[in-house]
């Protein structure tokens, strides 16, 4: 259901009132010559048929999901139009359009299934449509680095909590790499590594 409200505030120094069209559910469709004012919708805005901006009229379009102007839409000489797509989901509109071609994504979505939200991928500068688990190629899954450190600045050989065990070991064992009191094991030499530093064998009977 579309809900549209017309709010007009008369201004004494103007002959025409200044109007604000708002649509808070569904799309806003404009089909007649416009009067000065702001035209806003949380959906998409379409200007079609006889919709135009006459001379002396100042109009502002704002929509969350898109603005469509038909070929016969005109702004007459002396008229003014400002149009803005402003999807308020915390994601850059340009970023959403670049990777998805629309503004349908939300900040918590994970369309590529890499366990990083869209908001996190935007912050990190990674591709939200490509399931790449280790974008910085450091041997640690990005989601794990973000969960414990908030970014991708740590490496597999770093010992972030200075407990004597590097991040790669802590990842394999499942301990917290940012908490030195949560060490993987109480002694050395309990792991066998391959050439890439990954654990291939470990003892599990520990005190």
Query: How do residues 37-93 score in pLDDT, each as one tens digit?
Result: 999 988 889 999 999 999 999 999 998 888 999 989 999 999 999 998 878 888 888
Number of alpha helices (DSSP H) and beta strands (DSSP E) in the chain: 4, 10
Q: How confident is the model at residue 145 (pLDDT cuts 50, 70, 90)?
A: very high
Q: Hunting for tokens 């792991």 — which residue is that?
A: 191
Q: Hunting for tokens 């035209």 — which residue is that?
A: 39
Q: Is the pLDDT of residue 198 over 90?
A: no
Q: What is the pLDDT of residue 11?
A: 32
Of 59-68, 123-132, 160-169, 184-193, the one with minimum mean pLDDT is 184-193
Of 6 and 104, the one with more pLDDT: 104
Q: What is the mean pLDDT of residues 139-160?
A: 94
Sequence-ordered list of residues with C-beta below 8 angstroms from that of 122, at least 6 positions apart, any chain:
91, 92, 95, 128
- Token pair belonging to 171: 């990842």
30 burial type by CB count under 10 A (0-12 exposed, 13-18 middle, 19+ buried) = buried
Strands 37-41 and 18-25: parallel
User: What whole-number percentage of the chain has pLDDT above 70?
Assistant: 77
Distance from C-alpha of 18 to C-alpha of 163, rounded to nearest angstrom: 67
Q: Is the pLDDT of residue 23 over 80?
A: no
Of 29 and 86, the one with more pLDDT: 29
- What are the residue ranges of helices labelled H in 60-101? 93-100
Of 111 and 173, the one with more pLDDT: 111
What is the overall mean pLDDT for the chain? 81
pTM: 0.58
Of 11 and 155, the one with more pLDDT: 155
Opening angle at CA 78, ends 76 and 84, nearest 5: 75
Selection from 119, 163, 120 nearest residue 144 by Cα: 120
Q: How confident is the model at residue 167 (pLDDT cuts 50, 70, 90)?
A: very high
Q: How confident is the model at residue 151 (pLDDT cuts 50, 70, 90)?
A: very high
Q: Is the pLDDT of residue 150 over 90?
A: yes
């Amino acid at each position: 259901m579309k809900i549209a409200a017309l709010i007009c505030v008369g201004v004494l120094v103007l002959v025409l009132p200044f109007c604000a069209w708002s649509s808070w559910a569904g799309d806003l469709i404009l089909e007649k010559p416009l009067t000065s004012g702001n035209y806003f919708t949380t959906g998409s805005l379409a200007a079609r048929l006889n919709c135009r901006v006459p001379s002396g009229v100042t109009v502002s379009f704002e929509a969350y999901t898109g603005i469509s102007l038909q070929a016969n839409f005109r702004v007459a000489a002396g008229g003014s139009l400002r149009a803005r797509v402003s999807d308020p989901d915390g994601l850059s509109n340009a970023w959403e359009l670049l990777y998805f071609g629309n503004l349908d994504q939300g900040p918590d979505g994970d369309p590529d299934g890499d366990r990083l939200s869209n908001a996190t991928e935007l912050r990190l500068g990674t591709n939200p449509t490509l399931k790449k688990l280790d974008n910085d190629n450091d041997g640690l899954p990005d989601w794990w680095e973000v969960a414990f450190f908030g970014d991708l600045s740590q490496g597999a050989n770093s010992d972030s909590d200075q407990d004597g065990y590097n991040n790669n070991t802590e990842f394999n064992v499942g301990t917290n790499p940012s908490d030195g009191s949560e060490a993987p094991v109480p002694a050395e030499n309990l792991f066998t590594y391959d050439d890439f530093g990954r654990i291939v064998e470990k003892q599990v009977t520990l005190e």
